[in-house]
């Protein structure tokens, strides 16, 4: 079936556009000029939804400040179309890829065109112009950084933090269930002094709680919006007070406390808030890497590894070795962590490219930031549901490893001194005998005194 087209025009002339799509000339030009990563690396859905929010907010502010231009009829049409964009109902009309102009101009125009055409359809008349009405009092240069901040706040508050809190709750439960179980600690991948399993879990839990604090610390700066700066930060063509009104409107539409950025020249060219927030995501990724590695090491075996914990068996682990089960949830977490750490480099380099009055690496910065946040949220939930909730202690193996540890000799330091304790441990290892046998053989303590002072369970 042959595709049908309609003719749209912009300042450069006429363009053929698919008849069943709401976009218009400028979106179509970008679609044809940037055939890079098509269908794979399109503009993130979070950015498109954020554009719906900010376009609706801008219409609200313009209705209040420019009622002669933003009539009630125009406002109603824009508001309804923008709401549909914000709710993700018109995603098929946003075809553009990340690899476009560094200011995101084409995606801003994509939003303007879709909202204008959908708004006209709602109104039943040729009422809205993409630039004159939907883009009123705005520029791509202040809308794209605003969309970045809105999208970042929403994904951090509504997806990442709840995911981490879910895993924190699981670890709190595991702490209570495993109180009093003493096991060998390990440093440098070597035996160390004893620790309780609940203490070990509390380290995981506390790391995640700190990560939440770090993410929360990044949110106030992200809630400062560039909208109102227009082309270069001066606010040209925006009415007085537009910046504060539109920030209040964004707050109303999202239920979040956004406010206008104090300095629009900074807001347009600097992406330090995104860098700072992604640093918190990288910290979370680093902690998740550590936790996942701990879990898979502790679960290693089942017979030739540490084998101190049991984790759920979710799927066969080998196409050739029958009965093998692998720590697959740990592995997905560590791969996600690697991706986030790589994204942090892209975010940092992208943010460094603020030339004069505008950063021109915004789409790639947003793409990497949002991928990190999305991957972490989904990865953590998957790890929690398919692994963490089912962790159980192998008490027998923990007890065996604890009493087989040479580092229990540390308890003897106050009685025989560091050097004699070291001799005891080395002899026990060399002759494959117990610490007690080594200590008695060397004559450092009597059997009665050794039994009195050597109590591994009290060393925690």
The pair phi, psi for residue 19, each rounded to 5°, is -65, -25
Q: Which of 234, 222, 230, 231 is nearest to 246 (CA)?
A: 230
CA-CA distance, 148 to 261, in Å (whole number)?
Answer: 14
Q: Which of 318, 352, 382, 403 is catalytic?
A: 318
The DSSP call for residue 456 is G
CA-CA distance, 93 to 19, in Å (whole number)?
Answer: 11
Q: What are the helix (H) ranges across 299-361?
A: 328-351
Tokens of 287: 């902690």
Tokens of 152: 């970042």
Looking up tokens 């304790």, which residue turns up? Answer: 421
Sign of the four-CA dihedral 54, 60, 65, 70: positive
In angstroms, what CA-CA distances link 450 with 117, 435, 438, 443, 447?
A: 86, 10, 11, 11, 5
Active site residue 318: yes
Bridge pairing between strands 13-18 and 259-260: unpaired
The DSSP call for residue 446 is -
In angstroms, what CA-CA distances link 380 with 46, 166, 170, 288?
A: 19, 9, 12, 8
Q: How many CA atoms lie within 13 A of 85 on its CB side?
A: 37
| Residues 325, 305 contacting (CB under 8 angstroms) | no
Region of residue 417 (phi > 0: left; psi between -120 and 50: alpha; otherwise: beta)? left
The DSSP line for 26-48 is: HHHHHHHH--SSTTTSBPPHHHH
Q: Which of 4, 11, 188, 319 is catalytic?
A: 188
CA dihedral in degrees (380, 383, 385, 387; nearest 10)? -160
Residues classed as catalytic: 188, 318
């Amino acid at each position: 079936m042959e595709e049908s087209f309609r003719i749209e025009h912009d300042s450069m002339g006429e363009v053929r556009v698919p008849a069943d799509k709401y976009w218009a000339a400028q979106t179509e030009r970008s679609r044809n000029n940037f055939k890079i990563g098509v269908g794979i690396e399109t503009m993130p859905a979070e950015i498109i939804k954020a554009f719906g929010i900010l376009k609706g907010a801008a219409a609200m502010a313009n209705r209040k400040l420019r009622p002669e231009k933003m009539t009630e009829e125009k406002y109603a049409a824009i508001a309804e179309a923008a709401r549909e964009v914000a709710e993700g109902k018109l995603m098929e009309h946003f075809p553009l890829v990340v690899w476009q102009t560094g200011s995101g101009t084409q995606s801003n125009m994509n939003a303007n065109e879709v909202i204008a055409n959908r708004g006209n359809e709602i109104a039943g008349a040729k009422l809205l112009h993409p630039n004159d009405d939907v883009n009123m009092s705005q520029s791509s240069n202040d809308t794209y950084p605003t969309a970045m901040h809105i999208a970042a706040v929403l994904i951090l508050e509504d997806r990442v933090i709840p995911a981490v809190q879910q895993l924190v709750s699981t670890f709190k439960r595991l702490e209570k269930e495993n109180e009093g179980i003493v096991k060998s600690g390990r440093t440098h991948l070597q035996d160390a002094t004893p620790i309780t399993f609940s203490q070990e879990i509390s380290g995981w839990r506390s790391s995640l709680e700190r990560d939440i604090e770090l993410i929360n610390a990044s949110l106030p700066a992200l809630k400062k919006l560039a909208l109102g700066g227009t082309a270069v930060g001066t606010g040209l063509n925006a009415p007085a007070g537009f910046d504060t009104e539109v920030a209040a409107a964004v707050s109303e539409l999202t239920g979040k406390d956004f406010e206008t950025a104090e300095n629009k020249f900074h807001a347009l060219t600097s992406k330090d808030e995104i860098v700072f927030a992604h640093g918190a995501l990288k910290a979370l990724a680093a902690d998740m890497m550590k936790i996942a590695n701990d879990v898979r090491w502790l679960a290693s075996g089942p017979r030739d590894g540490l084998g101190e914990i049991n984790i759920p068996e979710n799927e066969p682990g080998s196409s050739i070795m029958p009965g093998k089960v692998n720590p697959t949830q740990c592995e997905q977490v560590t791969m996600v962590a690697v991706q986030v750490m790589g994204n942090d480099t892209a975010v940092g380099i992208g943010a460094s490219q603020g030339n004069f009055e505008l950063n021109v690496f915004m789409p790639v910065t947003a793409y990497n930031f949002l991928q990190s946040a999305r991957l972490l949220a989904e990865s953590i939930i998957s790890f929690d549901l398919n692994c963490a909730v089912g962790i159980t202690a192998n008490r027998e193996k923990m007890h065996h490893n604890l009493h087989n540890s040479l580092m229990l000799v540390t308890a003897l330091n106050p009685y025989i001194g560091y050097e004699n304790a070291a001799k005891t441990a080395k002899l026990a290892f060399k002759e494959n005998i117990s610490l007690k046998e080594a200590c008695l053989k060397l004559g450092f303590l009597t059997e009665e005194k050794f039994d009195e002072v050597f109590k591994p369970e009290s060393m925690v």
